[in-house]
């Protein structure tokens, strides 16, 4: 019998504060799966009308699926979070777009009718599990010149993108990075970010004093408010001598987790759940791995075409800032100014951090908050580049749209 495709909505999203990876980072002694558990529990706390038994799936992404990020994380995190054992779960990997893919994969199943309500998110503990830990790239990639060797190093792909777009200078990238830090600091000052953060208790060891204690993490650790062009100008270019990519105009190595609730729109309304965004379309695209950051351009073209929209219909953009050059390449392609007010209104990953597989849902929670504040905007999108040459884009509709200007 013919099936009716159902509308899928973003009900809610939360995340842990993001931390710096490494021995000095806030999550150095915190397990990755515990970060996911905290996020799932917070979703349930914020939505008390949802019977946990009604959750049909838990899809959790991680790029490095070993150790405390392994063992079919969606299933184990669900059990640890106290979900009924009847709720299944699985893990997913699309590198940086892991959580975004968890959302789109489960959304497709909701639209088809296989699920009604799902949890989708991601985690990356880059302090415990650096990207590439334990992997063994096939030597054919390089020996048969299937990809340029630089494709295996994200920072080098960003330098390659600067080569492709010579008009995107280091100065432009640094200027963009300063704006990201300024917007993030303003968003914090205005209380725009804290509403979706899950406070995390962390164990800390003071090696010098020989003491161990506990603390409560309530804010993102990587942010550098007060960043200036002068402070960025002298940073090293670790990926190329006299290059353009620095620690200041790129996201760092980070730890953190995200989780979201998705549902069929009719089910969400029946259960009294909030409807924060309506999914319109999504698309993934492949590009040359050595210019990985170009990926959001073709994925956005595909997603817009599927939705019957153009770039001019998009009133808000949440673009992951893996590297400033990657965002600027996207903006240049579409003729959007570097400081366009529609883009990353709360700042982005250059300020907050980019714990790889978790970041997609951060983009969504920030877009949902902006939709709520700006009912004159009908459509927005979340997009990101993906390691080894891909792009991912999701187009969303604002359920608060009041018929105003785009």
Catalytic residue numbers, as ranges: 96, 354, 385
Token couple for 235: 């940073």
Residue 212: how many other CB atoms lie within 10 Å: 11
- Tell me the pairing of strands 254-264 and 19-20: antiparallel
**Contacts of residue 350, Cβ cutoff 8 Å, sequence gap at least 6:** 176, 177, 180, 181, 249, 250, 251, 321, 324
Sole residue written with tokens 């319109």: 280
- B/e letters for 229-240, b = 16+ CB within 10 Å, e = fewer, are eeebeeeebebb
Mapped onto helix, strand or coil, the DSSP state of residue 293 is: helix
Helix, strand, coil percentages (3-state) for the chain, rounded to 5, are 40, 20, 40
Report which secondary-structure segment, H or E, holds 183.
helix 170-189
Sole residue written with tokens 């673009």: 319
Find out whether 20 and 220 touch, Cβ atoms under 8 Å: no
What CA–CA distance (Å, rounded) separates 27 from 374? 35
- B/e letters for 119-130, b = 16+ CB within 10 Å, e = fewer, are bbbbbbbbbbbe
Mapped onto helix, strand or coil, the DSSP state of residue 201 is: strand
Sole residue written with tokens 């959001």: 296
Q: What are phi and psi of 319, to 5 degrees?
A: -110, 125
User: What are the Cα distances from residue 64, in Å, to 125, 133, 148, 161?
Assistant: 9, 7, 22, 25
DSSP state of 48: T
Sole residue written with tokens 């050059």: 325
């Amino acid at each position: 019998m013919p099936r009716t495709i159902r509308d899928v909505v973003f009900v809610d999203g939360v995340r842990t504060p993001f931390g710096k990876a490494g021995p000095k980072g806030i999550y150095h002694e915190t397990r990755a799966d515990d970060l996911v558990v905290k996020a799932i529990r917070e979703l349930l706390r914020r939505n008390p009308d949802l019977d946990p038994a009604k959750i049909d799936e838990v899809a959790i992404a991680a790029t490095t699926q070993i150790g405390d990020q392994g063992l079919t994380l969606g299933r184990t995190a669900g059990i640890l979070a106290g979900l009924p054992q009847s709720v299944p779960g699985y893990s997913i990997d699309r590198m940086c777009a892991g959580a975004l893919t968890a959302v789109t994969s489960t959304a497709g199943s909701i639209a088809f009718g296989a699920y009604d309500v799902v949890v989708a998110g991601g985690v990356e503990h880059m302090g415990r599990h650096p990207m590439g830990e334990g992997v063994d790239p096939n030597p054919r990639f390089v020996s048969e010149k299937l990809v340029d060797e630089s494709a295996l190093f994200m920072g080098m792909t960003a330098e390659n993108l600067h080569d492709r777009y010579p008009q995107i200078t280091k100065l432009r990238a640094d200027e963009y990075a300063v704006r990201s830090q300024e917007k993030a600091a303003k968003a914090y000052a205005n209380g725009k970010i804290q509403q979706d953060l899950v406070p995390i208790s962390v164990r800390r060891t003071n090696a010098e004093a020989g003491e161990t204690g506990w603390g409560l993490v309530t804010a993102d650790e990587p942010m550098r408010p007060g960043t200036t062009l002068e402070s960025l100008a002298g940073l090293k270019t670790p990926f190329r001598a006299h290059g353009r990519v620095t620690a200041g105009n790129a996201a760092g190595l980070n730890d953190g987790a995200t989780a979201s609730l998705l549902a069929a729109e009719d089910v969400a309304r029946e259960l009294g759940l909030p409807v924060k965004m309506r999914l319109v379309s999504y698309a993934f695209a492949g590009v040359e791995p050595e210019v990985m950051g170009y990926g959001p351009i073709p994925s956005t073209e595909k997603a817009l075409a599927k939705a019957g929209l153009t770039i001019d219909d998009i009133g808000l953009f949440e673009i992951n800032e893996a590297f400033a050059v990657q965002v600027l390449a996207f903006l240049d392609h579409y003729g959007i100014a570097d400081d366009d007010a529609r883009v990353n209104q709360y700042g982005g990953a250059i300020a907050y951090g980019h714990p790889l597989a978790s970041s997609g849902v951060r983009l969504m929670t920030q877009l949902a908050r902006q939709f709520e504040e700006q009912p004159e905007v009908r459509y927005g999108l979340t997009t990101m580049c993906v390691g080894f040459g891909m792009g991912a884009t999701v187009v969303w509709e604002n359920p608060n749209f009041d018929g105003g200007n785009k």
